[in-house]
Amino acid sequence: MTRVFSGVKPTGHLTLGNYLGALRRWAEVDQHQADALFCVVDLHALTVDHDPARVRRLSRQAATLLLASGLDPRRCTVFVQSHVDEHARLSYLLECVATDGEMRRMIQYKEKAAREQARGGSVRLSLLTYPVLMAADILAYGTDEVPVGDDQTQHVELARDLAVRFNHRYGHTFVVPKATSPKVAARVMNLQDPASKMGKSDDSGPGIVYLLDEPEVTRKKIMRAVTDSGQDVVHDREGRPGIANLLEILAACTGGDPEELAGGYASYGALKKDTAEAVVELLGPVRERHRELCADPGFVEGVLRAGAEKARAMARPTVDAAYRAIGL
Ligand code: ADP
């Protein structure tokens, strides 16, 4: 059976982008078709300025939202990265295989480092090496496929390169993984700035729909999404990025096609209204299930404990083999 691994970073509240680009497919497709592991990658949340209590709170919230989105612990493994030591153990070995130049070429590193510097902050070394830890997350489990949004494909490529290089130098140890992307809404854009993705780490509010936003707040954010000054609704990512984003969100929610949907609208207002309603309807059951799970914290705790045990048992043989192969 295909082994699938993917994760979410507890650096902010989970967004509609996380849901449409990742969580929904994990729940609807991956956990049914594969031997799948889903992880709250809390070590990754330490790569930028962080508040310890907030990271702990957001990790728990993210894990709860994974379950609320439909991940079933009887079908897949749900756990928190720092509960399984094998990730950090393997990451160090992979740092001995990766190169400095390779790390500095990562687009996300360049973007995030520039942002930190613009804020006057210093760039943590872990921000540079973060893709190596991500490679360890993936390779520790003999992962075949990594379902991710477009923004993460470069990191999965690095995991592939490191697996191939390690295997070539030290003998076959790792499965070489590949990234898979959903067809629609692979990249949900910020409603106020459709040139940049709807990322949870911004925590900037108006352009981001959070999964736990009240329906009224979600409606308002979508109704106020920036558009151009035109009127006719066409799907054109380059020329009409705001409208294209709304069409893609609506298509992802309703299962339609963005180009075809465009033909059914005579005004931007009507498109926004339908998009808002589709998003509110889609997220309703997730919010409801999240409420139920919050009332039963012992259940979530138990799922995470069992998930970590299962994950550890899966990762240990591969990581031990890597230690032997590299000369330890
Ligand atoms: P974030 O960028 O929100 O911090 P993570 O790195 O935690 O996201 O990614 C969790 C998953 O959600 C990944 O598979 C990522 O590709 C996906 N994802 C994040 N933001 C978006 C977005 N705006 N559109 C589509 N998928 C996204």
Given a contact cutoff of 8 angstroms between Cβ atoms, the answer to whether 250 and 277 are in contact is: no
133 and 239 fall within a common domain: no
Residues annotated within a binding site for ATP: 9-11, 17-18, 149-151, 188, 197-201
12 and 138 fall within a common domain: yes
Q: 112 catalytic, yes or no?
A: yes
Q: 197 catalytic, yes or no?
A: yes
Test site for ligand 1: of 11, 14, 18, most ligand atoms within 8 A of the Cβ = 18
Q: Crossing angle of helices 268-294/215-223, nearest 10°?
A: 150
- Give the global pTM: 0.94
Cβ neighbours of 90 (radius 10 Å): 25
Give the pLDDT confidence of 199-210 residue by residue, as tens digits: 886 666 799 999
Give the pLDDT confidence of 225-246 residue by residue, as tens digits: 999 888 889 999 999 999 999 9
265 and 304 fall within a common domain: no
Asked if the interface predicted TM-score (ipTM) of this complex is over 0.85, the answer is: yes
Closest CA to 160 of 182, 179, 142, 176: 176
CA of 172 to the centre of ligand 1 (A): 31
107 and 245 fall within a common domain: no
Out of 75-84, 176-185, 295-304, 319-328, which region has the weakest mean confidence (pLDDT)? 176-185
pLDDT at residue 77 tops 80: yes
Q: In angstroms, rounded to a whole number, what is the distance separating the alpha carbons of residues 198 and 190?
A: 4
Residue nearest to atom 21 of ligand 1 (CA): 17
- Residue 201 alpha carbon, nearest atom of ligand 1: 4
Total structural domains within the chain: 2
Residue 191 lies in a domain: no
- Domain span including residue 281: 200-291
Q: In angstroms, rounded to a whole number, what is the distance separating the alpha carbons of residues 41 and 32?
A: 22
305 and 170 fall within a common domain: yes
